[in-house]
Structure 1
Amino acid sequence: MTQPPPLTDTDVRAALDAMHRETATTGRRPSVLGLAQRLGLPNTTLRRRFPEICAELTPGHTTPAASPATDVATIRNLRRDNARLRRDNHNLTANLEVAIANIQQLTLEVHQLREALEHARNVTRLPRPPR
Structure 2
Amino acid sequence: MTTHRRPLPAQADVRAAVDSLIAETGRPPSVLALATRLGLANTTFRRNCPDICAELAEQASPPASARAANAFARATADNARLRRANRDLAEQLELATAVIQRLSIDNHQLREALHQAREVTALPRRR
TM-score norm. by structure 2 comes to 0.54
Same amino acid, percent of matched pairs: 38
CA displacement at 1:46 relative to structure 2? 0.6
What are the ranges of 5 or more consecutive residues in structure 1 without an aligned counterpart? 62-74, 125-131
Unaligned runs of 5+ in 2: 61-65, 115-127
Indicate the residue corresponding to 1:22 in structure 2.
24
| Number of the residue aligned with 2:8 | 7
Q: Using the TM superposition, give the Cα deviation of residue 2 of structure 1 relative to its aligned residue in structure 2, in angstroms.
A: 7.3
CA-based RMSD of the aligned residues comes to 3.9
Encode CA deviations 1:52-107: one digit per residue, 9 max, x unaligned: 3323323179xxxxxxxxxxxxx8xx97xx68x83x76555444433322211211
Shift of 1:8: 1.5
1:67 is matched with none
Taking a change above 3 Å as real, the CA distance of residues 32 and 92 of structure 1, as seen in their structure-2 partners, is: closer
Q: Moved runs in structure 1, 4+ residues, more than 6 A?
A: none
Taking structure 1 as reference, are residues 107 and 21 closer, same or farther at Cα in structure 2, changes over 3 Å only? same
Count of aligned residue pairs for this structure pair:
103
1:44 aligned partner: 43
What TM-score does the superposition give when structure 1 sets the normalisation length? 0.53
Change (3 A) 1:50 1:92: closer
Q: Structure 1 residues 90, 16: closer, same or farther in 2, change over 3 A?
A: closer
Equivalent residue number for residue 101 of structure 1: 90
- Cα separation, 2, equivalents of 1:91 and 1:53: 41
Q: Which has the larger radius of gyration?
A: 2
Q: Which structure's residues are more often helix, by fraction?
A: 2
> How far 1:17 moved relative to its partner?
2.1
Aligned AA (1:15): A
* Amino acid paired to 2:89: I
Return closer, same or farther for 1:12/1:97 CA change in 2, 3 Å cut-off. Answer: same
